[in-house]
C-alpha cells in the first residue's frame, strides 16, 4: 500500500480544515501537513453559508452581550468556559481573515460592516453580501496556496482512523481517481469533516454532508456529544430545500401565515415590530429553534399556505425594495427566481423549516482535543460545545476559524510533547481488506439507495422539529435494523476509478452511525430544550438534563448513552426571553 | 411530470475502449434541473453513473458539464429550457477521468501559479481592519465571485487550442487581487499574467463571460490586464523615469 508520512493529517478542507492547515504551516514551516478531503477544497460546504460570521467589533457591543446571547440561545447547554474562549477569539479571527483579503462588506468610512442576526442583542454579524461562507472559504483556500508545506490530497475519502496503543496514529483513505487505498502515517490527526444533514430528506446541506468525520471518530471510540440537537433553519425553499439566509429577516423581511399575520407574535416573540424596522432579538429576529417550532404549530392550526411541495409560510421582503435586495441579498433573489419562480422584489417567497445544522458532534474539550490522544476535531463535525441546544446564526462560521486554529495549536503541542508508538501497518491492511470485501461482495440483497431512503424517512418522520417517545422508539428500532441490513448491501459498480457507488455506500455507513446516535440520544433525553422538543416531555428539566449526552459506539449493538455535566461559570439557567423586553 | 430522454456520455477507463453515449428515459418533475434528472438515474436506474455534485445552489462549482453542447452547471440547467433529447457530456477541453468526471489538475495548478492571495501593500493594522471603502471594494468585488466551476475553460476556444494558456478564471482571479486596495503584489503576479501564455493569448472571443454562471466577466478582466501590461511596457521602454 502506498504510504504518505505526515506530522499532522487533516481530514476535511472546508473552513475549519483550511484554517487549521494555515495555522500549522505558519507556526512551523518544517511541519509536513497532509490536507485530505473527499472534494476539492472550494467545493466544501462552507461555501454555502450565506449570512455571516459573528464577532464583537462595534463600540456599542461587548463580549458579555455575545456571551449571554450565545448561552441563552443554546438554552444553557453550552459550556460557558468554551463560549468565553470563543467570543474572545472571534474578533481576532475575523480580523485575520480581513488581513488575508476577505471581501467583507463595508461601511462608508471603510470599516467592516455588521448586520443584525437572529437571537443576537447587538449587530455583530460580519458579512460579504449573502455569500459570506463562500468568500471565507475561497479566501482561506487561496491563502493556503502560498504554503508549500501544506500537501493536498484532493478527492481522497478517509475510511478509517488508525488507533494503536490508545493513540491515533494515522488514517487510511481511498484515492478516488485510482480507487487505491492509501495509508497516511501521521503523528496527529485533525478531523474537520463537516455535518451530517443528509440523514434527512429535506435539508440545506449539500450532497457531501454525510457525517463521515463524525463516524470516523465514533468508530474509533470517541463519543458523539449532544447528537439529538438538530437545527431546522426556518426559511428554506420548499422545492429544493435551498437556504434563504436569516439575513433576509435581519435586513427587515417578515414571516406571514396564510392570513397575512406575522404569527411569531403568537409564540412568545411579540409584540409585533414595525414593518421594515427589525428589532433585535424579537419577532423575526428570534432564534431558529423557536421560529421553526412556531411554524410547526401554525401548520397544525391550518394557518400554513399549501404549495406543490407541502405546507409553507411566506417570507415577505417586498418592502426592502429592489436596491437593498440586490445589494445585500443578491443570491437570495437569484435562487428564489431560479428554483421557485418567485421574485422577492415583487412577491413574498414561500419557505418552510429545513434541516440545516448539527449542534452535536465529536466530543471535544475546549482545546479541540478528543478523548483519544493524537485526535482533534473542529467545525460542524465537532461539539465543544459552544452551541448548546440551539446554535445562533452566524456563530458557526466564526467557530470554524476559532476552533480550526485551536485544533492546530493543540496538535502542535501534542507533537512537541514527544513521539508516538510506531506502527499502524496491520491496521491499514485491515482497513483496506474491509473496503475490498465491500466492493467485491456478491449475493448481497440490499441496495445503497434503498437503505438510504428508509433512513431518511425514519429521520423525517420521527426525529423532526417535535418528537415523541413512541416515534423515537420506532426510529431506534428502524436504525438498528438498517445497521444489520447494511452488512448485506451489494455494489453494482465493482470497478476502481471514481466509483461513486462505493463512495455512496461508505457515506451511507457514516450516516447510519450518526442517525442512530441522534435517535438514541433523543429517546434518552426526556425533556424539551432548544432544538430538541418532546411532545411527551414539554418542559426543560435542569435537574436531570442540564447535561451533555454522549453516545458511544458499541459495535454490534446500539450506542450506549451516558451524560456529562455542562460547564456553568457565571450564567445560571434562566428564561429565554425574546419578547423584546416586554415580558 | 414529463419523460425526458437523457443521452449521457459514459466512459470507464477500466472497461471501455472509448467513450460512448447511453440513453436513459427519466420521469421528471417540470421544475427539475439536469442534476435532478441525473440523480434520479443514479438512484433508480443506474448506480454506476459517476459525476460530481454537492450544493445544488450554484455556489460549490462541482457540477459543470456540457448540456446540449454548452457548458452549464447541471444544478442551474432547467429541463424546461430543453424541449427535446438532452445530451450531457463532460466539460470540453478537459481529460475525462470517468463518465462526467473530468481531470482538473491543470486549472488547480494554474490557479496556484498566479498567487491568488493578498500580498499586503502595507503592514496590517494592530487589532483593526484595513480600511476599504465601498467604492474600493466595488473595484474588485465582481472578480471575487468566481466559483472555479471551469465553464469558462470549456467555452474558451484558445484554451482548446493552446492548453498552456493560463485561461479566463485564473487571470480574472489574479486581477481580483491586483485591484484590491490592500494588495501590493501586482509585480509578483505580472510574470505569469504578461507572459505569452498569459493574457496575451486571449483573442477576445468573450465566450468565457457569456457562460459564466456568476457574471464574473473574465473577458473584461483579461482586457484590463492587457491594457495595464501595455502601460507597463510603455513606461519601462519609452518613459523609464515614470516607473516607480
The CA distance from A493 to the nearest CA of chain B, in Å, is 5
Cross-strand bridge partners of residue A186: A6
The verdict on B136 and B231 lying in the same domain is yes
The verdict on B216 and B116 lying in the same domain is yes
Find the CB nearest A501 among B47, B136, B147: B47
Q: Is the peptide bond before A204 cis (omega within 30 degrees of 0)?
A: no
Are the beta carbons of A191 and A382 closer than 8 angstroms?
yes
- CB neighbourhood size of B124 (10 A): 16
**Chain B residues lying within 8 Å of A337, measured CB to CB:** none
CB neighbours of B78 closer than 8 A, spacing ≥ 6? Answer: A338, B31, B32, B33, B34
pLDDT of residue A72 exceeding 90: yes
What's the average model confidence in pLDDT over A531-552? 98
ipTM of this model?
Answer: 0.97
Q: What are the phi and psi torsion angles at A509 (to 5°)?
A: -60, -40
Which residues, numbered 61 to 100 in chain B, qualify as contacts with chain A under a Cβ-Cβ cut-off of 8 Å? 61-62, 76, 78, 97-99
pLDDT of residue A421 exceeding 70: no
Are the beta carbons of B91 and B153 closer than 8 angstroms?
yes
Q: Do domains A2-231+357-420 and A233-354 have the same CATH topology?
A: no
The verdict on B34 and B98 lying in the same domain is yes
The CA distance from A254 to the nearest CA of chain B, in Å, is 23
Name the DSSP letter for residue A164: E
Q: Which residues of chain B have pLDDT under 70?
A: 242-244
d(CA A394, CA A56): 12
Q: Is B113 on the interface with A (CB under 8 A)?
A: no
Concatenate the DSSP letters of all residues of A59-118 into one string. Answer: TT--HHHHHHHHHHHTTT-S-HHHHHHHHHHHHHHHHHHHHTT----B-TTSSBPEE--T
Query: Residue B38: which CATH number?
Result: 3.10.20.30
The verdict on B47 and B125 lying in the same domain is no
CATH number of A2-231+357-420: 3.50.50.60
**Chain A residues lying within 8 Å of B180, measured CB to CB:** 101
d(CA A147, CA A154): 16
Q: Is B14 on the interface with A (CB under 8 A)?
A: yes
Q: Is the peptide bond before B85 cis (omega within 30 degrees of 0)?
A: no
The verdict on B199 and B134 lying in the same domain is yes
d(CA A244, CA A224): 29
d(CA A53, CA A86): 12
Determine the residue of chain A that is closest to B117 in CA distance: A143
The CA distance from A537 to the nearest CA of chain B, in Å, is 36
- Of residues B1 and A17, more confidence is placed in A17
Looking at chain A, the whole-number percentage of residues with pLDDT higher than 70 is 99
d(CA A391, CA A73): 7
Name the nearest CA neighbour of A224 among A513, A15, A469. Answer: A513
- pLDDT given at position A422: 63
- pLDDT given at position A419: 66
The verdict on B113 and B228 lying in the same domain is yes
- pLDDT given at position B156: 97
pLDDT of residue A332 exceeding 60: yes
The CA distance from A89 to the nearest CA of chain B, in Å, is 12
The verdict on B144 and B224 lying in the same domain is yes
Domain A427-554: which topology?
Answer: Methane Monooxygenase Hydroxylase; Chain G, domain 1 (1.20.58)
Put simply, the answer to whether B130 touches A497 (Cβ < 8 Å) is no
Concatenate the DSSP letters of all residues of B9-53 into one string. Answer: EE--TTT-SS-EEEEEEEEE-TT-BHHHHHHHIIIII-TT-----
How far does CA A123 lie from the centroid of its chain? 23
Burial status of residue A538 (CB atoms within 10 A of its CB: 0-12, 13-18, 19 or more): exposed
Are the beta carbons of A6 and A34 closer than 8 angstroms?
yes
Domain boundary among B69, B102, B135: B102
The verdict on B231 and B216 lying in the same domain is yes
d(CA A369, CA A381): 13
The verdict on B154 and B200 lying in the same domain is yes
**Chain A residues lying within 8 Å of B61, measured CB to CB:** 42-43
Name the nearest CA neighbour of A47 among A212, A208, A159, A248. Answer: A208
Give the confidence band of A105 by pLDDT, cuts at 50, 70, 90.
Answer: very high
Cell of A93: 479571527
Domain A233-354: which topology?
Answer: Flavocytochrome C3; Chain A, domain 1 (3.90.700)
d(CA A452, CA A511): 9
For chain A, the domains span 2-231+357-420, 233-354, 427-554
- pLDDT given at position B243: 57
Name the nearest CA neighbour of A514 among A562, A487, A548, A475. Answer: A475
The verdict on B125 and B94 lying in the same domain is no
Name the nearest CA neighbour of B56 among A51, A50, A340, A339. Answer: A339
Put simply, the answer to whether A497 touches B117 (Cβ < 8 Å) is no
Print the domain residue range for B74.
Answer: 2-102
Put simply, the answer to whether B14 touches A496 (Cβ < 8 Å) is yes
**Chain B residues lying within 8 Å of A208, measured CB to CB:** 54
Interface test with B, best of A110, A204, A336 (most B CBs within 10 A): A110
Q: What are the phi and psi torsion angles at A65 (to 5°)?
A: -60, -45
Are the beta carbons of A147 and A25 closer than 8 angstroms?
yes
Give the confidence band of A583 by pLDDT, cuts at 50, 70, 90.
Answer: low
Put simply, the answer to whether B147 touches A42 (Cβ < 8 Å) is yes
Q: Is B142 on the interface with A (CB under 8 A)?
A: no
What's the average model confidence in pLDDT over A316-325? 97
pLDDT of residue A170 exceeding 60: yes
Looking at chain A, the number of H-run helices and the number of E-run strands are 15, 22
Mean pLDDT (chain A, rounded): 97
Find the CB nearest B180 among A101, A143, A331: A101
Ramachandran bin of B138, using left for φ above 0, alpha for ψ from -120 to 50, beta for the remaining angles: alpha
Give the confidence band of A236 by pLDDT, cuts at 50, 70, 90.
Answer: very high
d(CA B26, CA B37): 7
Give the count of domains, chain B.
2
The CA distance from A184 to the nearest CA of chain B, in Å, is 22
The verdict on B45 and B133 lying in the same domain is no
**Chain B residues lying within 8 Å of A495, measured CB to CB:** 12, 14-15, 48
The CA distance from B61 to the nearest CA of chain A, in Å, is 7
Name the residues of A annotated as catalytic: 233, 249
Name the nearest CA neighbour of A98 among A118, A79, A112. Answer: A112
Where do runs of H (alpha helix) occur along B179-243? 186-193, 207-211, 218-237
What's the average model confidence in pLDDT over A508-518? 98
Q: What are the phi and psi torsion angles at A490 (to 5°)?
A: -130, 135
Cross-strand bridge partners of residue A153: A36
- pLDDT given at position A69: 97
Put simply, the answer to whether B47 touches A338 (Cβ < 8 Å) is no
Put simply, the answer to whether B130 touches A335 (Cβ < 8 Å) is no
Give the confidence band of A423 by pLDDT, cuts at 50, 70, 90.
Answer: confident
pLDDT tens digit sequence for A123-151: 999 999 999 999 999 999 999 999 999 99
Query: Residue B221: which CATH number?
Result: 1.10.1060.10
- pLDDT given at position A222: 98
pLDDT tens digit sequence for A238-268: 999 999 999 999 999 999 999 999 999 999 9
Size of interface A-B (CB pairs under 8 A): 151
- CB neighbourhood size of B221 (10 A): 28
Put simply, the answer to whether B117 touches A145 (Cβ < 8 Å) is yes
Determine the residue of chain A that is closest to B131 in CA distance: A110
What's the average model confidence in pLDDT over A390-406? 98
For A75, A542, B155, the CA distances from A539, given in Å and listed in that order, are 12, 9, 59
CB neighbours of A349 closer than 8 A, spacing ≥ 6? Answer: A237, A244, A314, A315, A316, A317, A336, A340, A342
**Chain A residues lying within 8 Å of B60, measured CB to CB:** 42-45, 47-48, 206
Interface test with B, best of A14, A35, A99, A328 (most B CBs within 10 A): A99
d(CA A223, CA A560): 9
Helix (H) or strand (E) holding A413: helix A395-416
d(CA A65, CA A575): 16
- pLDDT given at position A393: 96
Amino acid at each position: 500500500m502506498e504510504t504518505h508520512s505526515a506530522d499532522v493529517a487533516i481530514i476535511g478542507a472546508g473552513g475549519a480544515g483550511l484554517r487549521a492547515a494555515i495555522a500549522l504551516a505558519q507556526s512551523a514551516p518544517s511541519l509536513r501537513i497532509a490536507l485530505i478531503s473527499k472534494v476539492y477544497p472550494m467545493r466544501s460546504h462552507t461555501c454555502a453559508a450565506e449570512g455571516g460570521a459573528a464577532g464583537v467589533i462595534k463600540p456599542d457591543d461587548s463580549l458579555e452581550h455575545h456571551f449571554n446571547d450565545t448561552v441563552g440561545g443554546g438554552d444553557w447547554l453550552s459550556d460557558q468556559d468554551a463560549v468565553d474562549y470563543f467570543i474572545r477569539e472571534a474578533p481576532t479571527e475575523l480580523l485575520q481573515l480581513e488581513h488575508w483579503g476577505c471581501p467583507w462588506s463595508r461601511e462608508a468610512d471603510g470599516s467592516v460592516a455588521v448586520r443584525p442576526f437572529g437571537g443576537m442583542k447587538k449587530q455583530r454579524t460580519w458579512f460579504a453580501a449573502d455569500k459570506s461562507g463562500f468568500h471565507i472559504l475561497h479566501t482561506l483556500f487561496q491563502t493556503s496556496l502560498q504554503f508549500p508545506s501544506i500537501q493536498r490530497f484532493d478527492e481522497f475519502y478517509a475510511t478509517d482512523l488508525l488507533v494503536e496503543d490508545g493513540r491515533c496514529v494515522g488514517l487510511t483513505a481511498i484515492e478516488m481517481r485510482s480507487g487505491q487505498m492509501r495509508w497516511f502515517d501521521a503523528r496527529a490527526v485533525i478531523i474537520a469533516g463537516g455535518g451530517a444533514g443528509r440523514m434527512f430528506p429535506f435539508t440545506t446541506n449539500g450532497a457531501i454532508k454525510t457525517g463521515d468525520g463524525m463516524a470516523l471518530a465514533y468508530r474509533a471510540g470517541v463519543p458523539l456529544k449532544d447528537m439529538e440537537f438538530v437545527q431546522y433553519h426556518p426559511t428554506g425553499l420548499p422545492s429544493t430545500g435551498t437556504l434563504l439566509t436569516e439575513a433576509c429577516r435581519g435586513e427587515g423581511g417578515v414571516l406571514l401565515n396564510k392570513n397575512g399575520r406575522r404569527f411569531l407574535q403568537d409564540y412568545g416573540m411579540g409584540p409585533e415590530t414595525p414593518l421594515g424596522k427589525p428589532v433585535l432579538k424579537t419577532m423575526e429576529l428570534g432564534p431558529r429553534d423557536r421560529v421553526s417550532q412556531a411554524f410547526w404549530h401554525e401548520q397544525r392550526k391550518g394557518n400554513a399556505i399549501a404549495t406543490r411541495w407541502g405546507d409553507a409560510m411566506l417570507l415577505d421582503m417586498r418592502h426592502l425594495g429592489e436596491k437593498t435586495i440586490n445589494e445585500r441579498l443578491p443570491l437570495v433573489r437569484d435562487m428564489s427566481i431560479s428554483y421557485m419562480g418567485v421574485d422577492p422584489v415583487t412577491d413574498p417567497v414561500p419557505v418552510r423549516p429545513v434541516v440545516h445544522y448539527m449542534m452535536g458532534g465529536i466530543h471535544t474539550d475546549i482545546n479541540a482535543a478528543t478523548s483519544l490522544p493524537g485526535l482533534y476535531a473542529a467545525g460542524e463535525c465537532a461539539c465543544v460545545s459552544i452551541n448548546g441546544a440551539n446554535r445562533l446564526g452566524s456563530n458557526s462560521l466564526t467557530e470554524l476559524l476559532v476552533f480550526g486554529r485551536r485544533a492546530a495549536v493543540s496538535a502542535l503541542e501534542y507533537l512537541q510533547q514527544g513521539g508516538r508508538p510506531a506502527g499502524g501497518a496491520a491496521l491499514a491492511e485491515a482497513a483496506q481488506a474491509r473496503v475490498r470485501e465491500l466492493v467485491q461482495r456478491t449475493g448481497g440483497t440490499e441496495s445503497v439507495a434503498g437503505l438510504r431512503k428508509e433512513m431518511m424517512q425514519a429521520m423525517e418522520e420521527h426525529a423532526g422539529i417535535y418528537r415523541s417517545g413512541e416515534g423515537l422508539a420506532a426510529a431506534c428500532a428502524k436504525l438498528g435494523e438498517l445497521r444489520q441490513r447494511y452488512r448485506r448491501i451489494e455494489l453494482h459498480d465493482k470497478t476502481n476509478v471514481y466509483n461513486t457507488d462505493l463512495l455512496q455506500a461508505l457515506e451511507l455507513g457514516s450516516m447510519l452511525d450518526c442517525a442512530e446516535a441522534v435517535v438514541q440520544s433523543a429517546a434518552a433525553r426526556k425533556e424539551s430544550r432548544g432544538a430538541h422538543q418532546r411532545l411527551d416531555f414539554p418542559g426543560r428539566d435542569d435537574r436531570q438534563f442540564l447535561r451533555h449526552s454522549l453516545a458511544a459506539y458499541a459495535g454490534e449493538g446500539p450506542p450506549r448513552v451516558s451524560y456529562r455535566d455542562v460547564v456553568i461559570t457565571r450564567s445560571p439557567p434562566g428564561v429565554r426571553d425574546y419578547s423584546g423586553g416586554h415580558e | 411530470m414529463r419523460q425526458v430522454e437523457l443521452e449521457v456520455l459514459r466512459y470507464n477507463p477500466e472497461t471501455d475502449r472509448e467513450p460512448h453515449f447511453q440513453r436513459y428515459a427519466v420521469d421528471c418533475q417540470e421544475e427539475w434541473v439536469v442534476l435532478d434528472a441525473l440523480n434520479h438515474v443514479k438512484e433508480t436506474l443506474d448506480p454506476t453513473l459517476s459525476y460530481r455534485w454537492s450544493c445544488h445552489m450554484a455556489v460549490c462549482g462541482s457540477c459543470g458539464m456540457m448540456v446540449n453542447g454548452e457548458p452549464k452547471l447541471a444544478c442551474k440547467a432547467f429541463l424546461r429550457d430543453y424541449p427535446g433529447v438532452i445530451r450531457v457530456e463532460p466539460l470540453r477541453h478537459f481529460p475525462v477521468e470517468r463518465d462526467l468526471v473530468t481531470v482538473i489538475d491543470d486549472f488547480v495548478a494554474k490557479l496556484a501559479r498566479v498567487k491568488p492571495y493578498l500580498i499586503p501593500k502595507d503592514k496590517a493594522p494592530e487589532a483593526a481592519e484595513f480600511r476599504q471603502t465601498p467604492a474600493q471594494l466595488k473595484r474588485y468585488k465582481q472578480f471575487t465571485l468566481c466559483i472555479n466551476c471551469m465553464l469558462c475553460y470549456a467555452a474558451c476556444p484558445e484554451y482548446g487550442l493552446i492548453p498552456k494558456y493560463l485561461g479566463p478564471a485564473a487571470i480574472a482571479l489574479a486581477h481580483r487581487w491586483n485591484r484590491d486596495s490592500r494588495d501590493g503584489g501586482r509585480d509578483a503576479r505580472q510574470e505569469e499574467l504578461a507572459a505569452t501564455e498569459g493574457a496575451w493569448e486571449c483573442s477576445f472571443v468573450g465566450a468565457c463571460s457569456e457562460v459564466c454562471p456568476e457574471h464574473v466577466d473574465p473577458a473584461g478582466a483579461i482586457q484590463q490586464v492587457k491594457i495595464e501590461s501595455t502601460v507597463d511596457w510603455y513606461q519601462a521602454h519609452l518613459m523609464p523615469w515614470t516607473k516607480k
